Structure 1
Amino acid sequence: MARFPYAKTFLLGFGFFGISVIWPIFNNFVPIFLAEMGLRAALVGFVMTWDNYLNMFVQPIVGERSDHTRSRLGRRKPWMLVGAPIAATAFLLIPSLHTVIGIMLAILLTNLGMALFRSPTVALLGDLYPPEQRSTANGVINLMGGVGAIVAFLGGGALYAFGRITPFLFGSLILLGAITLVLLFVREPTAPANPASSGPRQGLLRNLREVLESEDRSGFWILAAILCWFLGFNALETWISSFGKFTLGIDPGRMSLITSGFALLFVIFAVPSGLFATRFGRKRTILGGVVALTVLMAMGWLVRDTLSLVALLVAAGIAWALVNVNSLPMVYDVGGDARVGAFTGLYYLASNIAAVGGPQVVGLLIDWTGGNYRVMFLFSAIFMALATLCMTRVREHPRPSASR
């Protein structure tokens, strides 16, 4: 086997690095901005899922359309060139506006810009790497994403002291710089001449129907597992900063630093998780991670101080790496190389349905329980357990060979 192209993969990883800088800043500060403007938790949860409502439709459609895009830049890069500037500009406007309508409009435009280029950026993983290299490549890419998250947590937390706009300016500049590196230095392969590229477009619904009606039910079960573990993960991601402030009394800037522990351990274990799956199989690796997350989320109910919260997030970062690094390569195994963009879209369809449902349901539960933010841990534990059950039904494709 050819040596694994680490240099090329780290360059590609800058795309995910830029994307991953935006969301920790968004998730840490925007819910607090909205709560300080008088919005109830359920309404904050609703606003925080607007991006996922858009993504349920935009990302699958853009992913499939990018399979058919033809330009001098390639199939994926034109979408990056359009979406990233929209997202960066609107993101910078969020802390600059001081009315509910103004902030909501900026949030909506940020979400639209991000949705336009995320699926095409991630689809480059399937374009550039054969199946046996995808777990390792996704490990490197997620490592870069984790570094981006740490940069966002640490930089955003430190810069918040200089004014609420500074973390957002920081994130916008990094996003534009990272995407520019991908546009300049990552060379897209020649578009394949096959039915998925040259024939009629199948569309989102037909792609989904094919998965649901296939004799091999693995496609259905992996998408169901993705739906469940992202229900749990997105509920935690959205509400953890509010839990820190309103339950444990932790300052938002300090809470941003604390949550960097999760991202740090994700970074450390991203590449090992890909290598582990290459050696032992993706299904086994994912199952280990999701079982661990089930236990950890159940233990979250018992968190009473900063130290126990940090310990929980550190362990969860390791477990999440085992799951998240290997899930997209499994989806590509099911979908095949011909429709990487389309199946990237289906992956994001499942994850975004979850991201809509998780934060909103937990927001309602918080209101119904009189502001008990601990319910997010119970909710997450239940859906991680359901994800475990779904994964046991997935038939793993032939184990990827180790790259040398």
Structure 2
Amino acid sequence: MNATPTPRRRGRFHLRVALLVALGIFAQESVWNFHDAQTPVTLSQYTTSAALIGLIMGLDNIIGIFVQPLIGFMSDRTRSKWGRRTPYIVVGVPIAAALFALIPLAPSFPILIVVIVLFSLTANCFKPITESLIADQQLPEHRSKGNAVAKAASSLTIIIAALLSLFVVDESVELAYLIPAGLMIVCAAILVLALRESRSAGYRAIVAEDHVDGGEKLRLGGILKDLLTDRDRSRLMMVLAVVVVWGTWAGLRAMLTLYGVEQLGLTRGQAGGFTLPAGVAFIVVVIPAAILSDRVGRRLVMRISLVVFAAGTLVAFAFNGSYEATLAGVIIAACGYSGFAVNAVVVLWNLAPSQRMLGTYTGIFAVAQAIGSSAGPAVLGSLVDATGWAYLMLFVAGTAVIGLLLTFGVRRENSASQLAEESYLVEAEEADAGSEAGAGADEDVRTRG
């Protein structure tokens, strides 16, 4: 008789940890959104060149392409009494906050550029660190939910940036920069003090695994070579899908206001309003999409979501003279995009050969995002130049379908080695639960006594 297979032990979803990490991401994204909204105006006080302003504002993406994978890799190799991610947050956040607050105080154009570059460099150093905590502190089966909470928090930062612009900037631009900087420091402090990464089950599991295999050092070149040469192209196809889909969404967002003005005859303000219902739709759908993904599979949800994305833009194309149809199409597309966005980095995390590489894979994901976000608007803009605004939504649908086809090259959702590593984390969680239960029993005995 064959032995009955041992059922895989399932861990629990850590809502408290997910909320703490989301708080940190909310704070850093509040700074980035306000930076994107107001720093161009600060730059315009020194130059009238829109191209130069755009170049300076795009430096953070260029810096991120080089910095984020490197810092993610360095944090993967870090072991300290604070943990492996926390040291970078503790050092980076105060420096980035101080530099951000100095932007409106710069006395000259060269100094302003230096401050902006230093802020972008420092903020890019801890951006992948905070996001990696999502994967560090959740089992693979629960990472979509953890990422969804973070995505929802990140989406809310658009509202924070808008409120600061509406109610604070005209009164004091210096105070408007200082508020998100201070918010980032406070939220990061709460995250670090409440999480206590070095005591977490996730960090202890990594240390335990180091002891088992002798603490073999990771090499960035080896990780990248393995990604590019692996016969199973799942990870590479996922990276390419991120480039295409992120580029498609970035291009749609960049072209949407102009599309409303040129194709639909709307005013600039009316056309700019398309992003609000789309943002609300994203927030409403993202958490249910994550829960569904954890139950039925992330690849299936991503594929269905990209079909929905393409269908929404095809509705807008079919009725490309109608404001109402365009609005409905954009909302449908945003719902579809949310299902892909919440799962893309999670699939990359879960395909990483080891949980000790999660920071590096967060950086790789960031590079794919940056490339897509830079290339997408340019590609779609070129196609519109060649044909006309009436075809924008058709091109968006076409590139979404290309992203869909790439997901069929993702043949699996989890690496076998990482699933094996789960036992360390589950055991650490069970030990924590046992300690808490024991402490509760001791307290009960003392109370009775």
TM class, shorter-length: 0.7 to 0.9
Deviation string, structure 1 residues 59-96 (Cα, Å, up to 9, x no partner): 00000100111222111011112222233233334445
Q: Which moved more, 1:306-315 or 1:386-395?
A: 306-315
Counterpart of 2:79 in 1: which secondary structure?
Answer: coil
Does the 8 A contact of 1:300 with 1:374 survive in 2? no
Q: Which amino acid aligns with 1:323?
A: F
CA displacement at 1:98 relative to structure 2: 8.0
Deviation string, structure 1 residues 271-291 (Cα, Å, up to 9, x no partner): 211101012210111122223
Structure 1 CA distance for aligned equivalents of residues 191 and 341 of structure 2: 22
Q: Does 1:177 align with 2:193?
A: no
Q: Which moved more, 1:68-77 or 1:290-299?
A: 290-299
Structure 2 CA distance for aligned equivalents of residues 355 and 30 of structure 1: 19
Shift of the 100–323 alpha-carbon distance from structure 1 to 2, 3 Å rule, reads: farther
CA displacement at 1:199 relative to structure 2: 2.3
Corresponding residue to 2:345 among 297, 306, 328: 328
Does the 8 A contact of 1:86 with 1:109 survive in 2? no
Q: Does 1:192 align with 2:207?
A: yes
1:208 match: 224
CA displacement at 1:185 relative to structure 2: 0.8
Structure 1 CA distance for aligned equivalents of residues 282 and 406 of structure 2: 23
Q: Which amino acid aligns with 2:296?
A: F
CA displacement at 1:390 relative to structure 2: 0.7
TM-score by length of 1: 0.82
1:147 match: 156
Corresponding residue to 1:117 among 123, 126, 134: 126
1:272 match: 288
CA displacement at 1:362 relative to structure 2: 6.2
Does the 8 A contact of 2:312 with 2:328 survive in 1? no
Counterpart of 2:207 in 1: which secondary structure?
Answer: coil
Q: Does 1:290 align with 2:306?
A: yes
Counterpart of 2:142 in 1: which secondary structure?
Answer: helix
Structure 2 CA distance for aligned equivalents of residues 160 and 30 of structure 1: 11
Structure 2 CA distance for aligned equivalents of residues 283 and 23 of structure 1: 30
Shift of the 390–304 alpha-carbon distance from structure 1 to 2, 3 Å rule, reads: same
Structure 1 CA distance for aligned equivalents of residues 257 and 171 of structure 2: 19
Does the 8 A contact of 2:33 with 2:157 survive in 1? no
Deviation string, structure 1 residues 12-63 (Cα, Å, up to 9, x no partner): 211111122123323334456657842245x554333211111111100000
Does the 8 A contact of 2:164 with 2:176 survive in 1? yes
Q: Which has the larger radius of gyration?
A: 2
Corresponding residue to 2:30 among 21, 38, 47: 21
Identity %: 24
Shift of the 343–159 alpha-carbon distance from structure 1 to 2, 3 Å rule, reads: same
Deviation string, structure 1 residues 161-206 (Cα, Å, up to 9, x no partner): 5455554333223222221211111132224344699323311x33
Does the 8 A contact of 2:241 with 2:404 survive in 1? yes
Does the 8 A contact of 1:235 with 1:362 survive in 2? yes
Q: Which amino acid aligns with 2:341?
A: N
2:73 match: 64
Q: Tell me: higher relative CO, structure 1 or 2? Use CA pairs within 8 A at least 6 residues apart.
A: 1
Shift of the 267–240 alpha-carbon distance from structure 1 to 2, 3 Å rule, reads: same
Does the 8 A contact of 2:298 with 2:413 survive in 1? no
1:10 match: 19
Q: Which amino acid aligns with 2:207?
A: P
Identify unmatched segments of 5+ residues in structure 1: none
TM-score by length of 2: 0.75
Shift of the 389–157 alpha-carbon distance from structure 1 to 2, 3 Å rule, reads: farther
CA displacement at 1:102 relative to structure 2: 4.6
1:218 match: 234
Structure 1 CA distance for aligned equivalents of residues 100 and 140 of structure 2: 35
CA displacement at 1:331 relative to structure 2: 0.4
Structure 2 CA distance for aligned equivalents of residues 99 and 245 of structure 1: 36
Shift of the 154–365 alpha-carbon distance from structure 1 to 2, 3 Å rule, reads: farther
Shift of the 91–375 alpha-carbon distance from structure 1 to 2, 3 Å rule, reads: farther
Structure 1 CA distance for aligned equivalents of residues 257 and 125 of structure 2: 27
Q: Does 1:38 align with 2:87?
A: no
Structure 1 CA distance for aligned equivalents of residues 357 and 411 of structure 2: 20
Structure 1 CA distance for aligned equivalents of residues 42 and 325 of structure 2: 26
1:352 match: 370
CA displacement at 1:267 relative to structure 2: 2.2
Does the 8 A contact of 2:350 with 2:414 survive in 1? no
CA displacement at 1:231 relative to structure 2: 1.6
Q: Which amino acid aligns with 2:219?
A: Q
Work out the number of aligned pairs and report it: 394
Structure 2 CA distance for aligned equivalents of residues 49 and 373 of structure 1: 25
Structure 2 CA distance for aligned equivalents of residues 383 and 68 of structure 1: 37
Counterpart of 2:143 in 1: which secondary structure?
Answer: helix
Q: Does 1:51 align with 2:60?
A: yes
Deviation string, structure 1 residues 263-320 (Cα, Å, up to 9, x no partner): 3332222221110101221011112222333344566677779877765554443222
Does the 8 A contact of 1:27 with 1:237 survive in 2? no
